[in-house]
């Protein structure tokens, strides 16, 4: 099962069975970002790209998912893994196949970098839950933290998030990763979140294996209060419970979740 991993314990989603539509490997790390806090930094340097292509066959995902579901009963199917999942050109096909195989809700974790592409947004409309990243309100901080591929513009991402929210009928969460470099952005990020109108804002800090130190709970609580005072449904990663579960394929799981 090369394309399916877990299930993993997710503070945000419960017991989550992962689908990796890119399947980057050590020494062949592919993404549109190279975030300073990425838990997969030990896989090697990032080959930056914004070009969508087929990395794994839809049929392989179908077969791996069917096999995994024989051995586990997750709460949700989450499309994520070793890279930015919207880089997969066959993402829409994969989502359609997953929906045929199981009635479980299907979510995605995306860094939002390709939401300006209409075909990406159309793929994501099929999902039950979209968790989209936004870590900065100014380009300099965005460039410092997320280290995007050439041509990616923060303003375009923000406008695309607003557009997607206006069109999407499912649950949309904004995930904001706070570290020392963007604490000062909390109020401006809350203002942006108000304009995007997500169902919830996930106030995060890197508690998983990461080269960047997490912020303490009291600091994250203060940041969360900025968001709640703006009328947003905001929750801190420290207040989310981590369920117990056991992966059915530890080797593939550790490639995506090395802290387990």
Q: Copy the structure tokens of residue 226.
A: 């900025």
Check residue 241 and give its pLDDT. 81
* pTM, entire model: 0.94
Check residue 28 and give its pLDDT. 77
Q: Contact, 36 vs 147, CB < 8 A? A: yes
Check residue 23 and give its pLDDT. 85
Q: Contact, 82 vs 4, CB < 8 A? A: no
Check residue 65 and give its pLDDT. 96
Give me the number of domains the chain comprises. 1
Q: Which of 78, 4, 7, 68 is nearest to 245 (CA)?
A: 7
The residue segments making up the domain with residue 116 are 4-256
> Which CATH number goes with the domain that contains 128?
3.20.20.70
- Which conformational region is residue 249 in: left (phi greater than 0), alpha (psi within -120 to 50 degrees), or beta? beta
Positions of the chain with pLDDT lower than 50, given as ranges: none
Check residue 6 and give its pLDDT. 86
Check residue 44 and give its pLDDT. 78
């Amino acid at each position: 099962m090369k394309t399916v991993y877990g299930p993993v314990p997710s503070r945000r989603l419960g017991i989550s069975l992962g689908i990796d539509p890119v399947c980057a490997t050590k020494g062949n790390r592919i993404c549109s970002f190279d975030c300073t806090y990425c838990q997969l930094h030990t896989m090697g340097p990032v080959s930056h790209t914004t070009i969508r292509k087929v990395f794994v066959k839809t049929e392989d995902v179908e077969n791996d998912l069917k096999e995994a579901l024989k051995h586990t009963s997750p709460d949700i199917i989450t499309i994520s893994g070793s890279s930015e999942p919207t880089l997969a050109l066959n993402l829409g096909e994969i989502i359609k196949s997953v929906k045929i195989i199981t009635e479980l809700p299907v979510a995605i974790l995306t860094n939002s970098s390709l939401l300006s592409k209409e075909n990406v947004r159309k793929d994501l409309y099929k999902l039950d839950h979209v968790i989209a990243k936004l870590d900065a309100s100014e380009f300099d901080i965005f460039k410092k933290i997320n280290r995007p591929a050439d041509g990616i513009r923060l303003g375009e991402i923000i406008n695309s998030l607003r557009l997607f929210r206006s069109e999407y009928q499912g649950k949309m969460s904004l995930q904001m990763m706070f570290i020392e470099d963007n604490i000062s952005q909390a109020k401006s990020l809350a203002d942006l979140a108000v304009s995007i109108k997500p169902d919830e804002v996930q106030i995060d800090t890197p508690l998983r294996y990461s080269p960047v130190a997490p912020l303490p709970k009291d600091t994250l609580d203060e940041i969360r209060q900025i968001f709640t005072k703006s009328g947003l449904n905001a929750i801190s990663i420290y207040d989310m419970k981590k369920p117990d579960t056991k992966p059915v394929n530890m080797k593939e799981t550790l490639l995506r979740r090395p802290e387990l």
